[in-house]
Amino acid sequence: MPVWINGELVPSERATVSVFDHGLLYGDGVFEGMRIYSGKVFRLAEHLERLYESARAICLRVPIELAEMTAAVEKTVAANDLTDGYIRLIVTRGPGTLGLGPDRCRDPQVIIIAATIQLYPEEHYEKGLEIITSSVIRNHPAALSPRIKSLNYLNNIMAKIEGAQAGCVEALMLNHKGEVAECTGDNIFLVKHGELYTPPLDAGILAGVTRAVVLELAAELEIPAHEKALTKHDVYIADECFLTGSAAEVVPVVKVDSRPIGDGKPGQMTARLRDAFQKHVRQ
């Protein structure tokens, strides 16, 4: 499994970073998780745009330009001979001193890992997920912006743990205003009276690539869609609920906080969008 690190593909055992890397010491860095379908990275341009924006937002200089990064991702996919899989792209602040200051980190590390993906079990798509609302709120937008896909995911991990302790693979996070934000690694959608609803970016969420694709597909299918502030009440009274993410794709949610959503079964609109998504990625 060759891994790209700082300009070369090396065997995974040799793909290592320093213990003084601020990515490790402080979670100081950014990343992307992308899918490979039929040998091609899905929406690579969008993922890389988000990566460079995340880096910019934390004043991290990505040591290679977009064109070179695109080529590096493609070379890593080819070297791993993957037709379907997952890519993890990481840019760390690089090795520095034990102090917080990034000024001594002069060598940001670029790492690209390609792997076969551990998909959600088929059962999740057939039966739908049960989730809970976590007591951990999403990062306050005036603290570390939720738009940044940073290496510091502890807040979401705390929510994920709370979900796991309740027997759920995902957990819903509210924002500091008590509105619905997103799940720990997935965006959320609701269906009500045949229309689609999802929180707007200013609810303090990650601008999910899959979320954007679902909104595009809804437009093509002439399904009215709204980016609107939502509350837990809206979730509880929704006809359907589903999550989107590069790993999960489109996955139905049938129970939230032990309450059945709609009739407690994966809904028709969810199935329709999931179907459209599958067709789209395999085009």
Cβ 141 to ligand PXG shortest distance, Å? 13
One residue of 130, 170, 182, 240 binding ligand PXG per CB under 6 A: 182
> Is residue 245 a contact point for ligand PXG (CB under 6 A)?
yes
Q: Could you write out the DSSP letters of every residue in 136-186? A: SPPPPTTSS-TTS-BS--HHHHHHHHHHHHTT-S-EEEE-TTS-EEEESSS
From the list 149, 228, 232, 279, the catalytic residue is 149
Sequence letter at residue 81: D
Give the nearer residue to ligand PXG in terms of CB position, either 80 or 244.
244
Q: Which of 79, 247, 271, 281 binds ligand PXG (CB under 6 A)?
A: 247
Q: How far is CA 149 from CA 27, 54, 258, in A?
A: 11, 6, 30
SS3 state of residue 129: strand
What's the closest the beta carbon of residue 97 comes to ligand PXG, in angstroms?
Answer: 28
203 binds ligand PXG (CB under 6 A): no
Specify the stretch interacting with ligand PXG by CB under 6 A; choose among 11-19, 74-82, 127-135, 180-188: 180-188
Contacts of 203 (CB under 8 A, 6+ apart): 175, 179, 180, 181, 182, 229, 230
Q: Which is nearer to ligand PXG, 2 or 146 (CB)?
A: 146
Q: Which of 29, 94, 185, 267 binds ligand PXG (CB under 6 A)?
A: 185
Closest CA to 252 of 192, 167, 189, 168: 189
Active site residue 279: no
Nearer to ligand PXG, 21 or 186 (CB): 186
Which residues lie near ligand PXG (CB under 6 A)?
Answer: 33, 156, 182, 185-187, 206, 208-211, 244-247
Active-site amino acid positions: 149
